Structure 1
Amino acid sequence: MSKSLIEETQEFVFDLLKEELPNTFIYHNYTHTERVLKSTREIIENSDLTEKEAEILELTALLHDIGYVKGCDNHEEESVKLATEFLNKKEVDKDIIKSVMDCIMATKFDAKPNNQLERIIRDADASHFGKKYFNEASEFLRKELELQGRKTFSPTEWRTENIEVLTKKHQFYTDYALKNWQPRKEKNLAKLMNNKKKKKKKLDIEKIKAKYKAQYKNESPERGVQTFYRVALRNHIKLSDIADTKANILLSVNAIIISVVLANLISKLDTNPYLTWPTVIFTLFCVISMILSIIATRPNVTSGEFTKEDVKNQKVNLSFFGNFHKMELDEFEWAIKELVQDKDYIYKALTKDLYFLGKVLERKYRLLRITYTVFMIGIIISLISFGIAVKNNPGIEIQDVLPNTDQTSYNLEQQNFDENFKI
């Protein structure tokens, strides 16, 4: 009879939770009920209990959380009501129903068990504290609370909450649980405390880093100064690269133009002398543009030497190779050591470097502007001169170009053609 009643109870609980339990209960569901039933049977097998007591415990394990179908509040009381109604329908003895009701109420977390059955069901209900799947079950419970909007815990807060429960709010009551589940519970607790310690240490290190970083940032306005020099020098170097690129483009274009002129146009000046001056003008402006482009990109290297007095008086800029390329390595190393020991000297060297880069840029862009202007004017004047030359020298008639003998032969052939095809 008992086996049949347990099976019927299992079927009743499964159908009830499947149909009426909301999907947000991802911890307090039938899986949890089966885990409690398994733990209950584990204690029963290792305890001296009667068949009736084992039946009461198994019924309690199956029915203790069915009240969640009515909501989270007072779910133990609701479980008692639903369980009483079901067991009465099955005509279970009143004393068994009474014991099941007492055991269900004993699963309240703040309740104190009064007898052996209540102690067993309390340990079985909280057996996950002493199991390897503790972390998994605990995470399901945290997520369930979040999904139902009852309470939201961050991982750190939940770890602290679990430590609080395991150390102050929970205890095993039965000898079997104390012998077999308590060691694993202590391992789970130790793991939580180690993780908390590691997290706290990591947070402390991050706080110290943030503190010193903020302190250094506040006490060192030089960061803004360094950023200024870094950005300004980078922009100047980029502008210098752009200027060199523009000059190289113009130099290449003019070189191609001159090559085309030399290869095609000059060879025809014998038969077209009126194109001489336009060609000379066009070539001259191209050559001038090339010369100006070369001047704009031509490097200017300084002496490359300095004296110790120059370093001590902070008159030499060691950030530019043109000031030290002829010096020996030991002299340069000494000068750099003197430079890095004086913060003002470093900023002074950077300022000089920035200033002279600006001077070089001004020269490059001024020459580039002149070069592009010359090239533009040369193109315009050349086109005008070619136009005037063509206009003042129209094409030559064919009879003026052909020799007399050839003209006579042409006339004879034309006459023969007319006679042969005359109608």
Structure 2
Amino acid sequence: MSNSLIKDTQNFVFNLLKTELPNSFLYHNYTHTTRVLKSVREIVEHSELSDEEILILELSALLHDTGYTKSCEDHEKESVKIAAAFLKDKDVDNSVIEEVSKCILATDINVEPETQLEKILRDADASHFGKKYFNEASEFLRKELELLGKKSFKPSEWRRENIKVLTEKHKYYTDYALKNWQATKDKNLAKLLKKKKKRKKKLNVEKLKAKYKTQYKNESPERGVQTFYRTALRNHIKLSDIADTKANILLSVNAIIISVVLANLISKLDNNPYLTWPTVIFTLFCVISMILSIIATRPNVTSGQFTKQDVIDQKVNLSFFGNFHKMELDEFEWAIKEMVRDKDYIYKALTKDLYFLGVVLERKYRLLRITYTVFMIGIIVSLISFAIAIKNNPGVDIDDVIPETTQIQQSNTLENNMTIAAFKKLS
């Protein structure tokens, strides 16, 4: 009778949890139920219990979490209702149903178990604390709480919560659990404490690093000097790029203008000689602008050689390729090693690099200013000269052109008529 009842209960619980329990229950599901049943049987094997008491414990283990299908709050009471209704349908004695209900209510962590059966079920329900799969079960429970919207724990927070439960809220009641599960529970607790200590140590190290890093930033002038050189060199390089871009734009514009002039305007000067000088002026200014743009962007490469004495005297700037591009690799490596040994030499090289970049920039921008000025003056002078030329040479009067055109048309018509008459005569 008991074996048949247990099988029916297993089938009932399995189908109930399968159809009515949401998928968000990653911990309180049928897997957890079977683990509790297995732990109950493990304790029962080493205890002196009657068949009826064993039946009560196995029924309680199977039915103790069915209340989660109704509500998370007070699920023990809901489990008692489901268990009582099911067992009554199976004609189970009221005394057994009452004991099953007491055992289920004793699984509440806030309730102190009184009878031996309640203590056995309570230990079986928390058996994962003393098992090797504790971390796996604990992680499923954390994720379940998050999915249900109850509370979201960070790994460190969940670790603290587990430590609190294992040290303050939970204890084993049966002799078997104390002898066989307590040791593994202590190991699991030790691992949690070790991780917590390691995490705390890591946080302290990070705080200390951040403290000294901030202090180093604030108190070390070395970092401020490096920031100055880095910012100044970057700004000079950006300004050089801007100057080259401006020169290239002006060069391209003048090249297009000259192409248009050569293709369209010069071919019409035979019929419009009065536009010759304006065209010459316009083209001349464009050519001058192009030449100045080329000069502004034309690279200037130095000798690319240095002597060992130059390195010893700290006269050569090894940060610029123009000072070493003709040297052998071993000589250059030696010079770099000599330079990095002396911090002042490095700063001296950076200072030279910054200075000569400034000199080059001054030359570029001065030529660019002249170029843009020439281009602007050329445009203005060319427009004025074109206007004067057109004003002084208004062209042929239209009234003189019309009679001549009419006469030509009449002559062409007469010739056409004579041709047609001759063709008819021949025919």
TM-score by length of 1: 0.71
Cα shift at 1:158? 2.7
Partner of 1:232: 232
Per-residue CA deviation, residues 279-314 of structure 1 (Å, 9 max, x unaligned), is 211121112111211221223344555566655554
Count of paired positions: 414
After superposition, where does 1:19-418 map in structure 2 within 5 Å?
32=32, 35-41=35-41, 43-44=43-44, 49-61=49-61, 96=96, 100=100, 103=103, 107=107, 111=112, 115=116, 117-131=117-131, 133-142=133-142, 153-163=153-163, 169-171=170-172, 173=174, 175=176, 192=192, 199=199, 203=203, 206-207=206-207, 209-210=209-210, 213-214=213-214, 216-302=216-302, 304=304, 311=311, 314-325=314-325, 332-396=332-396, 412-413=411-412
The one-letter amino acid of 1:277's match is W
Partner Cα separation in structure 2 for residue 407 and residue 165 of structure 1: 116
Contact 1:119 1:174 (C-alpha < 8 Å) held by counterparts: no
Per-residue CA deviation, residues 236-259 of structure 1 (Å, 9 max, x unaligned), is 112111211221222233233334
RMSD of aligned Cα (Å) = 5.2
Contact 2:43 2:176 (C-alpha < 8 Å) held by counterparts: no
Note closer, same or farther for the CA distance 1:309–1:24 as it changes in structure 2 (3 Å cut). closer
Q: SS of the counterpart of 1:318?
A: coil
Per-residue CA deviation, residues 26-82 of structure 1 (Å, 9 max, x unaligned), is 756777556434543455467664321222223443565689989868x87998899
The one-letter amino acid of 1:50's match is S
The one-letter amino acid of 1:381's match is V
Partner Cα separation in structure 2 for residue 158 and residue 66 of structure 1: 26
Cα shift at 1:5? 7.2
5+ residue gaps, structure 2? 419-427
Cα shift at 1:214? 4.0
Which shows bigger deviation, 361-370 or 21-30? 21-30
Q: SS of the counterpart of 1:395?
A: coil
Partner Cα separation in structure 2 for residue 59 and residue 326 of structure 1: 92
Contact 1:317 1:323 (C-alpha < 8 Å) held by counterparts: yes
Note closer, same or farther for the CA distance 1:400–1:24 as it changes in structure 2 (3 Å cut). closer
Which shows bigger deviation, 305-314 or 382-391? 305-314
5+ residue gaps, structure 1? none
The one-letter amino acid of 1:321's match is F
TM-score by length of 2: 0.70
Partner Cα separation in structure 2 for residue 189 and residue 316 of structure 1: 66
Q: SS of the counterpart of 1:319?
A: coil
The one-letter amino acid of 1:317's match is N
Note closer, same or farther for the CA distance 1:87–1:275 as it changes in structure 2 (3 Å cut). closer
The one-letter amino acid of 1:138's match is S
The one-letter amino acid of 2:317's match is N
